[in-house]
Amino acid sequence: MNSFRDRADAVSWSDILKSEEPHFIPLPGGFEEKCTQFQKLMILKVLRDEKLIYGIKEFVKKELGHKYIESPPFDLPGAYNDSQNTTPIIFVLSPGADPITYLLGLAKSKGMDQRLKIISLGQGQGRIAEKLIEGGHRNGDWVCLQNCHLSVSWMPELEKIQERQDEATMNPDYRLWLTSMPDRNFPVPVLQSGIKITNEPPKGLKANLKGTFNDITPEDYESCTKPKEYKKLLFALAYFHASILERRKYGAIGWNIAYEWMNSDLITSKTQLKMYLDEQPDIPYAALNYIVAEVNYGGRVTDDKDVRTIKALLKRNFCAEIMNDNYKLSKLEHYYAPTDGKLEDTKAYLNNLPLEDDPEVFGLHPNANIAFE
Amino acid sequence: MAEAEQTAILITKNRESYRPVARRGSILYFVIADLALIDPMYQYSLEFFSRLFNRRLEKSEKSDVLEQRLEILITDVTESFYTNICRGLFERSKLLYSFLNTSSILKRSENITIDEWNFFLRGSATDFSQIPKDIDYVSEPVFKKLLGLEECH
C-alpha cells in the first residue's frame, strides 16, 4: 500500500490501471523482483479484473512453458493410433463441428473406406446399429454411430454391448466411432473407456488459419493450373473464413446474428475457387465474390446489414490487389497473403502471427474488446 | 538372509527416489478427475490414467543419471497428459485445464500458499467499509481489494 502512496511508484501503478496490456508492465516498488508469478497474478486480479485471462496465460507460460497455452492441433490419426478394437472413439460435437469429413479421410488413408459403416441414430435405428456392431466384431468393419444424444433410450443398450465385448473374439481391425453432443445421459462407462475428441473451429485467427492449412495436402496446394493465383486467393479465403468466425465473439458489434458457418462452407468455396481458376483464362473476381459471399456463406445470413458486411469483408480479400505482395489484409502490418511458395513456407509464416487478435484485424475499433472481456 | 535384506533395502531406496514422478502423477490425476465437474463429457477413469502413465514410463527417453531421468519423466508425463486430455476438451476449457495444472503443481510445492489461493478465488472476508480511501488514482472497489491483498501477507 505504501508503494501506492509513493509518488515515484504511483506513475507506474496508474499506468497499469490504464494500460491495454497491463499484464506486460513490470510492477514498481520492488514488487517485480519480490513476488512469485502467482502473487503478480493476484495483484493483476485486484487492479484489472477484466484482464485476468491474459495474466493467466502469461502465468501458465512462465511456469509451465509456452506449449501449455496453445491448443495442440486436431490430430485424428494420433487418436486412432492410441485406440484398440475395444476402445470406442467419441467425437464430442459442438455447434458447427463436422467430424465426418475427417473420419472419411482417415478411413481412406487406412484403406477402410469400403468398410466404414455410418448410421445416424434415431427412432428404430437401435436394432440396425446392433447388427452393424455385431458384424464389425466379426469381420473388422468400422462402425460409426452418429448423434448418440438423439437416441437416449438406446444408450443403455450400447452400454451393455460395450460391457459384453470380449477382446479375444473380436477382429483387431474393428473400431467403434461415436458422435454426440454433450449430454448427461451418455453412459459414463463408455465415456471413461473411450478416447474423446472435440472438433471445434479453433479459437483465434492464428489457430483457425493454422487449422485450415493443416488440412491441406502439399499435392492439393500445388494442383491448380494457376498456382500463384490459387495460393493467394486460397489464403485470402482462409483469412476471410477465420475472420468472419472470429467476429462472432464481439457480439452485435461483429454480427447482428451469430451464424453457424461450418468447415464445409470453406471446403466448398475452396473447391469452387480451384475449379473457376482451372477453367477460365482470367480470374473471375465478380463471380467468385458472388458465389462465396452470397451463396456459400451468405446462404446462412438472414439479416440484411450482415449481408452487406459479409460482401464488404470478402471484397477486401478477393480483389486484384491481393496478387501484390505488399497488399495488407487489414490495417495491421502482419497480415498479408504470403509470397508464392511452398505449403511449408505458408505454415512457417502462420507460426509467426501474434497469438492475440487485435480487433483491427477484423476492421473493428480496439474498444470492441470490451464487448467480450 | 542378510543379503536379501540388503537387497530389499536397496530396492526400497531406489523406489523411493522416484517418488517425485508419482507425486506429479497424482497432481495431474486429481486435476483430470475434477474436469467432470466442468462438463459431463469430461470423464476419465483411473484405468485410462494409469495406462497412459505406464506407457510414458516405458516409452520416454532413458537416462542413467537419476536426476536427469526424473526430470525427463516429469516433463514427459505432464506434456503427454496435456496433449491427450486437450484432445477431448472444448476450446473454452483448455486454458482452465492448463491453469489448474499449473496452480496445483505450485500449490503442492508450496509456491502458492493456501491464503493466497483463497484470496485469489474469493477475495478477502474482512469488512473494510470504515477505512477511508486515501489514494486518489485508484477507484473505491480497487482500494478495498488492495487492503485485502495487503492483509494476505
pLDDT band at A2 (very low <50, low <70, confident <90, very high): low
**Residue B138 and residue B84 share a domain:** no
pLDDT band at A4 (very low <50, low <70, confident <90, very high): low
**Residue B122 and residue B104 share a domain:** no
Query: Does residue A186 sit at the B interface (CB-CB below 8 Å)?
Result: yes
* Interface probe with B: pick from A16, A49, A71, A91, most Cβ of B within 10 Å: A71
**Residue B42 and residue B60 share a domain:** yes
B102 and A183 within 8 Å at the Cβ level: the answer is no
Domain ranges, residue B75: 2-112
**Residue B104 and residue B132 share a domain:** no
pLDDT band at B103 (very low <50, low <70, confident <90, very high): very high
Q: Check residues A287 and A331 and name the one with the higher pLDDT.
A: A287
pLDDT per position as a tens digit, B4-62? 889 999 999 888 888 889 999 999 999 998 898 888 888 888 888 888 888 888 888 88
Contact assessment for residue A322 and residue A338, using Cβ atoms and an 8 Å cutoff: no
From chain B, the residues in CB contact with A14 under 8 A are 137
Distance CA B44, CA B55 (A): 16
Residue B153 clears pLDDT 70, i.e. is over it: no
Q: Check residues A102 and B136 and name the one with the higher pLDDT.
A: A102
Query: Does residue B152 sit at the A interface (CB-CB below 8 Å)?
Result: yes
Cell numbers at residue A262, please? 461450418
A42 and B152 within 8 Å at the Cβ level: the answer is yes
Segment A45-62 mean pLDDT: 86
| pLDDT attached to residue B27 | 92
Q: What is the count of structural domains for chain B?
A: 2
Angle, helices A100-109 vs A263-279, to 10°: value is: 60
Q: Which residue among A38, A90, A193 places its CB closest to the CB of B112?
A: A38
A111-115, A145-149, B124-128 — which is least confidently predicted?
B124-128
Cell numbers at residue B80, please? 503427454
Give the nearest chain B residue to A199 (CA atoms). Answer: B90
Burial group, residue A183, by CB count within 10 angstroms (0-12, 13-18, 19+): middle
Contact assessment for residue A208 and residue A245, using Cβ atoms and an 8 Å cutoff: yes
Most confident of A202-216, A283-297, A318-332: A283-297
**Residues of chain A above pLDDT 70, percent:** 96
Q: Given phi > 0 = left and psi -120 to 50 = alpha, else beta, which region is B133?
A: beta
Any idea which architecture A76-198 has in CATH?
Answer: 3-Layer(aba) Sandwich (3.40)
A17 and B101 within 8 Å at the Cβ level: the answer is no
**Residue B134 and residue B99 share a domain:** no
- CB proximity under 8 Å: B 73-112 to A: 78-79, 82-84, 86-92, 94-95, 98-99, 101-103, 105-106, 111-112
Q: Given phi > 0 = left and psi -120 to 50 = alpha, else beta, which region is B123?
A: left
Q: Find the farthest-apart pair of alpha carbons in chain A and give their distance in angstroms, rounded.
A: 79
- For A90, the 3-state DSSP assignment is strand
| Helix (H) or strand (E) segment spanning residue B34 | helix B19-34
pLDDT per position as a tens digit, A239-271? 999 989 888 888 888 889 888 888 888 889 999
Segment A75-82 mean pLDDT: 85
Q: Which residue among B86, B95, B101 places its CB closest to the CB of A72?
A: B86
Distance CA B115, CA B124 (A): 10
pLDDT per position as a tens digit, A150-159? 888 888 888 8
Taking the CB of residue A117, how many other CB atoms lie within 10 A of it?
17
From chain A, the residues in CB contact with B88 under 8 A are 90, 92, 195-198
From chain A, the residues in CB contact with B80 under 8 A are none
A42-56, A259-273, B61-75, B129-143 — which is least confidently predicted?
B129-143
| pLDDT attached to residue B31 | 92
Distance between B113 CA and the closest CA of chain A, angstroms = 10
- CB proximity under 8 Å: B 118-137 to A: 119-120, 134-135, 137
From chain A, the residues in CB contact with B45 under 8 A are 192-193
| pLDDT attached to residue B26 | 92
Cell numbers at residue A149, please? 444424444
Give the nearest chain B residue to A187 (CA atoms). Answer: B41
First to last CA, chain A: 28
The ipTM, to two decimals, is 0.85
Give the nearest chain A residue to B107 (CA atoms). Answer: A38
Distance between A181 CA and the closest CA of chain B, angstroms = 9
A205-372 in CATH: which number? 1.10.8.720
**Residue B134 and residue B75 share a domain:** no
Give the nearest chain A residue to B95 (CA atoms). Answer: A69
* Interface probe with A: pick from B28, B37, B41, most Cβ of A within 10 Å: B41
Contact assessment for residue B81 and residue B52, using Cβ atoms and an 8 Å cutoff: yes
**Residue B74 and residue B134 share a domain:** no
| pLDDT attached to residue A272 | 92
| pLDDT attached to residue A6 | 65
**Residue B85 and residue B10 share a domain:** yes
- The DSSP line for A180-218 is E---TTS-HHHHHHSEEEE-PPPSSHHHHHHHHHHSS-H
Distance CA A290, CA A311 (A): 8
What DSSP designation does A86 have?
T
A38 and B87 within 8 Å at the Cβ level: the answer is no
**Residue B125 and residue B78 share a domain:** no
**Residue B127 and residue B73 share a domain:** no
Cell numbers at residue A261, please? 458457418
Cell numbers at residue A83, please? 485406440
For CATH 1.10.8.720, the residue range(s) in chain A are 205-372
pLDDT band at A5 (very low <50, low <70, confident <90, very high): low
From chain B, the residues in CB contact with A53 under 8 A are 95
First to last CA, chain B: 56
| pLDDT attached to residue A211 | 83
pLDDT per position as a tens digit, A198-209? 877 667 888 888
**Residue B88 and residue B15 share a domain:** yes
**Residue B78 and residue B146 share a domain:** no
Query: Does residue A35 sit at the B interface (CB-CB below 8 Å)?
Result: no
Strands A116-120 and A195-198: unpaired
pLDDT band at A346 (very low <50, low <70, confident <90, very high): confident
Give the nearest chain A residue to B123 (CA atoms). Answer: A46
